Structure 1
Amino acid sequence: MQAAWHRLDRLLTGAEAVYVTMHGWADLGDTARILEKPLAEILEMVLDSRLGRVGKHALRQGFASILVNLSGQAPGHEMTTPGILAAGKGLEVNEVEVLLKRGLSPSSSGTGRRAGRAIVSLSAQDLAAFEARFISFRELALALRLSWDGLDERLAEHGIEPFSDGRRRFRKIYERAAVGPLLRG
């Protein structure tokens, strides 16, 4: 039992206090699902500081209290996943994956360890290209200092719709060119 508590202490070394799990924070199970890695590997990544910011949920105990912020990535990592991008921007992973698979923003593909399936990832340049072209609903609300309802009203007043490629309307993704007038003033 002592070994388990010691390991927990190591995992939580330097952890930030978190009261509400939003804005990129995910528990270990969700982190494993988003990154498509086994939980044991996620624990090793936390111990090795390969997952960026670690948090401790103030209202949870033990391993359930460990949180990882997926809105960024640890220094030294040159690639990120659609899941990390989505978590950091308040987007659905599926929307980001569809957008990337349709070639609407640059990405890289490789073969993953799971059944030889193609894994989509983004280099720093890919991420910069995404951010230059698109902005999420949450990022837009934060930039304009509006509530989500307030942002919905402002977008409707200006006739601004979420991005669409003609086949799909991406619910929370906007083109920066379309929202430019709101951001400028």
Structure 2
Amino acid sequence: MGEPVLERRVHSVLTAARDTGIDARRMRKLLADAGWVRPAGEGREDAWELFDAVAAAPFLRSLGEGVSALELQERLGISRSQFDLLRKDGYLPPTLAGPDHKPLWDIQAGRAFIDSLLAGAKPIYLQLHDWSSIAMAATRLKVRPAEIIRLIEARRLTRVGRHVDRDGYDAVLVDVAEVERLLDRPKAKGLTIELFARQVGLRPTAAMRLVRAGHIPTTMGTNPKTKAAQRYLSPADVAAFHARFVTLRRLAALLGLSWQALNVQLGDAGIAPATPDGQDVGALYEWDAVEAGFCCRWPRAANVEQDERGRR
């Protein structure tokens, strides 16, 4: 009527389909599921089924940006198995879902989810044994990835890393030992082998070799979450280990020295790391060798004095 229309105010199903490049039948289903129009067969024909173009603009824009589950996994670096587990636990819901069409995801929302996990993360240039991806940590600890993610979201994990050579979900790294300490396992029989290794300063693989060879005693128990049989170190097992072995880190703490200075002094004294069954297990020493040629534990020194008094 003589007034210029500079912005579209009303869309029909047909014009919305044309503007977004989506098939008109699928567009009708998407709009009907979102409540913008009536389903096919209940309203007018597509060319005359109208809705507010301005109010629906964000919705239509999201349709153009929506991606399939496969594309979302590829662009966020999430494996299909991890994606399925996260979906079951309520993470990464689709932006659009309905019985008559494939679900679509907002890639920006997916990236925001990953960014939230990496907030404040420490850059990791070389992934040593302390760090593990969420997927690997969940596998090793026999828990669901969502349990680890909830710890990150609650800011209970103090060690969260970002692998600088990776992108997306796989770039999120956690300290497995810290995760295990924070998991709710009130019925655990003691420390797991991996957690024990972290605490005393051994490589987990070395600790496992020592356990298998019988040099570190363990106790069988049931994992309270998975119900699987699992080896733990009870307080008595830990005490037995410390009675026979001492790590370089622990001995340095006992003597008030840096481990670098102590390593030099032990070498000068001819004290070599223990090699049970000829295996290299790292900076681990037997107390018998340390006490014979370097220093003595106070409890042992007291026992020696008592023995000498008894002989007198």
Q: Same fold (TM over 0.5)?
A: yes
Alignment counterpart, residue 109 of structure 1, candidates 211, 216, 220: 220
The answer to whether residue 175 in structure 2 is matched with residue 69 in structure 1 is yes
Distance in 2, Cα, partners of 1:71 & 1:83: 7
Question: Of 203, 219, 236, which residue of structure 2 is paired with 1:91?
Answer: 203
Cα deviation for residue 55 of structure 1 reads 0.8
Q: 1:54·1:66 contact (CA, 8 Å) conserved in 2?
A: no
Alignment of 1:102-181 (within 5 A): 102-110=213-221, 119-123=230-234, 126-127=237-238, 129-131=240-242, 133-137=244-248, 139=249, 143=253, 144-147=257-260, 151=263, 153-165=264-276, 167-172=277-282, 173-176=284-287, 178-179=289-290, 181=294
The AA in structure 2 aligned to 1:63 is: Y
Letter in 2 for 1:74: L
**In 2, are the aligned partners of 1:100 and 1:106 still within 8 Å (CA)?**
yes
Contact 1:31–1:68 at 8 Å: present in 2 too?
A: yes
Mapped partners of 2:121, 2:197: distance in 1: 22
Q: Structure with the greater relative contact order (CA < 8 A, sep ≥ 6): 1 or 2? A: 1
Structure 2, unmatched stretches of 5+, are 1-106, 298-312
CA 1:175/1:103 → structure 2, altered by over 3 Å: closer, same or farther? same
Shift of 1:105: 2.9
SS of match in other structure, 1:135? strand
Q: Judging changes above 3 Å, is the alpha-carbon distance between structure 1 residues 45 and 119 closer, same or farther for their aligned structure 2 residues?
A: same
Name the counterpart of 1:55: 160
Structure 1 residue identity aligned to 2:258: R
Q: Percent identity?
A: 24
- Structure 1: where are the runs of 5+ without partners? none
Backbone CA RMSD of aligned residues: 4.2
**Which structure has the larger Rg over C-alpha atoms?**
2
Q: Secondary structure at the match of 1:48?
A: helix
Structure 2 letter corresponding to 1:171 = V
* 1:46 alignment partner AA: I
TM-score by length of 1: 0.61
Contact 2:244–2:287 (8 Å) recurs in 1: yes
SS of equivalent residue, structure 1 residue 100:
helix
Q: Contact 1:52–1:70 (CA<8 Å) still a contact in 2?
A: no
Q: What is the TM-score with the length of structure 2 in the denominator?
A: 0.41
